[in-house]
Amino acid sequence: MAPAAHSLAAGSGLTTTKAAFIEQARAHGDVYIHQPYELYSAENHATWGRLLARMHERWERFANHRYLQGLEALHLPAERVPRLEEINRFMQPLTGFVARPVSGYVPSYVFFDCLRRREFPTTVTIRDGSHLEYLPEPDIFHDVAGHVPMHTDRAFADALVRFGECAAAAAEIASRIADEHEKLRRLTSNIRAMSRFFWFSIEFGLMRGAEGALKAYGSGLLSSFGELEHAILAPAVDRAPFEIARVVNQPFEIDHYQPRLFVVDGFDHLYALADELEDWIVQGRLDDVAGGDPPVSESDLRSFLEAGAV
Ligand SMILES: [Fe+2]
């Protein structure tokens, strides 16, 4: 490693957007990396501890019970950033899922395909200690404390695998469309629809519990001190029943609290919806969803086209 890069790594540890190790991996085009645990700074570990400590009371009040059970099963360390191998030792026997370290953004198809193999692309950097609130970039607190406890639940884990199967179906269908323009148009619509479904369930989903209480299961809520309470209690939030037709046509923005959320009845319901999503793809019912956010990038499209070409 060059001296300049070394001093940057030593100075900022594995802080989001400031980690030289990650910048180098990305410059090399490496998506899958190892978790360079020795690079975490004392401040990185302290940030993890502060993020975790303040969430417990909120999780007790607002998280669904399967999340709370998952949290218990994982034994997340209170005072330091967790090692992904430690987490996987607890998680893999339960549902087969493993957290796999990545250098950052993973193109859409590659991401969904990982889920199909029961691998969860996991960010290893952690947010700057001076900004504990929600940030648009994922970090290890969002990925591990927000997502991973849910991966210990069988129905939830199976629903994630269904996303991977939906993506495979979309890639396969696109590969059979001869007209290039039509192929890209439909694929763009399918990817946008899947991203919205994923966002309003896995990232920001709410669930009506057995006693009728509203609880969060979405990782974006479960990793946000402010938005978790807001999502459940704020009168301004529109909480609608989760219907595929509505969700896939609902644009979202990632840089502020969500004004509209969708509610499922349970994890079996979520699994049934993910199952139905694949039927919608096969039937062409996601070929013309409303435009708008999220944007579908060139690399997202390419990832699907390359998968379909295999
Ligand atoms: Fe996420």
Task: For residue range 26-61, list pLDDT tens digits in order.
Answer: 999 899 999 999 999 999 999 999 999 999 999 999
pLDDT for 134: 65
Residue that the structure tokens 């200690």 belong to: 129
Residue 157 CA, ligand 1 centroid: distance in Å:
15
Tally Cβ neighbours within 10 Å of residue 158: 18
Contact 126, 14 (CB under 8 A): yes
Distance CA 31, CA 49 (A): 27
Confidence of residue 269 (pLDDT cuts 50, 70, 90): very high
Residue 182, token pair as written in the block: 């039509």
Distance CA 283, CA 280 (A): 5
Strands 206-208 and 214-216: antiparallel
pLDDT of 102 higher than 90: yes
pLDDT for 11: 61
The average confidence (pLDDT) of the chain is 93
Residue 121 CA, ligand 1 centroid: distance in Å:
10
Give CA angle at 86 (80, 91), nearest 5°: 125
> Which phi and psi angles does 51 have, rounded to 5°?
-60, -45
- Per-residue burial over 129-152, b if 16 or more Cβ lie within 10 Å, else e, is eeebebbeebbbbbbbbbbbbbbb
Residue 184 CA, ligand 1 centroid: distance in Å:
26
Catalytic residues: 142, 147, 203, 223
Q: What angle separates helix 180-198 from helix 267-282, to the nearest 10 degrees?
A: 170
Distance CA 15, CA 83 (A): 16
Residue 178 CA, ligand 1 centroid: distance in Å:
34
| Helices then strands, each counted (H, E), the chain | 14, 6
User: CB neighbours of 71 closer than 8 A, spacing ≥ 6?
Assistant: 59, 63, 149
Residue 174 CA, ligand 1 centroid: distance in Å:
26
Residue 176 CA, ligand 1 centroid: distance in Å:
31
Residue 111 CA, ligand 1 centroid: distance in Å:
11
pLDDT for 245: 97
